[in-house]
Amino acid sequence: MVGASRRRGISTTAIHEGEEDGTDIIQPIYQTAIFKHPEGRMIRGRELKYSREDNPTVHLLEEKMAALEGGEDCLAFSSGMAAISTLFLSMVSKGDVVLTSKEIYGATLILFRSLEKFGIKVKTALNGNVARSIDENTKLVFVESITNPTLRVPDFPELIKVCKDHGATLVVDNTFATPINFRPLESGADYVIESATKYLGGHNDVIAGVLVGPKRGIDAAWEWRRNLGGSLDPFAAYLVIRGLKTLKLRVEDQNRKAQTIAERLEGHNKVKRVHYPGLKSSDYFRVATKLMRGFGGVISFEVGDGRKALRLLSSVDLIKTAPSLGGAETLITHPVSSSHKNISPVERKELGIKDGLLRLSVGLEETEDIIEDLENGLRKI
Ligand SMILES: Cc1ncc(COP(=O)(O)O)c(C=O)c1O
């Protein structure tokens, strides 16, 4: 029994939070669309009747994630993008000004820009310029805690202060860090979203998203989730719940492996530059060390030019070429020909995405096997 005064540790929370104290050790999956109504059960003070609104399995995931991120409440969604789009739509109105870092997931940036057709003013800035672009007209500010693909970390203490000074709401996409490495709400952010498809699920077998924040905002987003329809399926929720139970083990292991691999790549004569906030050579080492408990499982590195990068991609064997990150399998991508293909060369240059850049999501295989595969690939370029 854990004393009421002591906060439970993160794995204990991931495993036990929200679980019913009955005879089941593993909670059943409520694979149902409907519930007997009106004399049924309540979730968040609302009668349970239809799984697009609420579902006990989905709610178990929501309780765990609210506790893990340290927020008042959580909603789970059918994808990370459903979480982001539902939050945006629930928060912004015609005439509002929103500000986003340009250094975010491509689909999020496209979604932001598409809000302009509804009369919302969308401003964008590089991470380093976000804080100074905030003014009293800024309603919402959006950043990622570790950016894709160059692994930059915003200066959160400064950002949070400026947001508070101007009454702007700060939303942080914490997908790359996870609550194991960083908890934005504890630092003063207002909302956290995560693609649960990545580390939370952790096995590359489910698409899901979560939103954590204050109760009032979550209630508003609940209405929008119901009406937009981006609710999470109970079986998908179960897969994320199962993933959460090993989240700390996996993320800490991936932190360690990524650190070793980043250091080895940094010393390799075919590698021009390595981007990883855990490296002393990183411009983000200082801020990341101050804020984060670990630096994550994603590394990016430069190998001269695009031809060499593609050659490496086709030369690795254990490491697979596929989008996404955070699973058990080590994956590699070439951003210029995949995630950032539709971004102009000028904008790519501004974002620091070179033709020879590769992104590696370190999985759970043995470190030496991953390194051996990379070294074999590097030998061929
Ligand atoms: C940082 C980040 N945020 C959000 C998303 C969107 O998540 P999903 O694919 O689950 O919709 C992704 C997907 O790659 C991502 O990398």
- How far does residue 173's CA lie from ligand 1's centre (Å)? 9
Give Cα separations from 74 to 62, 80, 106, 198, 286 (angstroms). 5, 13, 24, 18, 31
* Average pLDDT taken over every residue of the chain: 96
Ligand 1 lined by 178 (C-beta under 6 Å) = no
* Pocket probe mutation, ligand 1, options 151, 171, 197, max atoms within 8 Å of Cβ: 197
Q: Give tens-digit pLDDT for 22-64.
A: 889 999 999 999 999 888 899 999 999 999 999 999 999 999 9
By C-alpha distance, which of 200, 169, 182 is closest to 326? 200
Whether the Cβ atoms of residue 265 and residue 274 lie closer than 8 Å to each other = yes
Rounded Cα gap, residues 229 and 224, in angstroms: 8
Q: Angle at Cα 88 formed by Cα 83 and Cα 91, nearest 5°?
A: 125
* Mean pLDDT calculated for residue range 150-165: 97
Residue 5's pLDDT is 63
Question: What does the domain layout of the chain look like in residue ranges?
Answer: 10-244, 248-379
Q: Answer yes or no: is pLDDT of 326 > 90.
A: yes
| Architecture (CATH level 2) of domain 10-244 | 3-Layer(aba) Sandwich (3.40)
* Mean pLDDT calculated for residue range 69-97: 98
More confident residue, 218 or 39: 218
Q: Output the CATH code of domain 248-379.
A: 3.90.1150.10
Assigned token pair, 6 = 């002591």
- How far does residue 107's CA lie from ligand 1's centre (Å)? 8
Q: Do the bridges between strand 331-333 and strand 320-321 make them parallel or antiparallel, or are there none, so unpaired?
A: parallel
Sequence-distant (6+) residues with CB within 8 A of 177 are 145, 146, 292, 296
Whole-structure pTM value? 0.97
Rounded Cα gap, residues 359 and 262, in angstroms: 11
From the CB of residue 6, how many other CB atoms can be counted at a distance below 10 Å? 7
Q: Answer yes or no: is pLDDT of 4 > 70.
A: no
Do 10-244 and 248-379 have matching folds?
Answer: no
Ligand 1 lined by 148 (C-beta under 6 Å) = yes
Give catalytic residues, as residue numbers: 52, 105, 173, 198
Rounded Cα gap, residues 122 and 142, in angstroms: 11
* Mean pLDDT calculated for residue range 137-163: 97
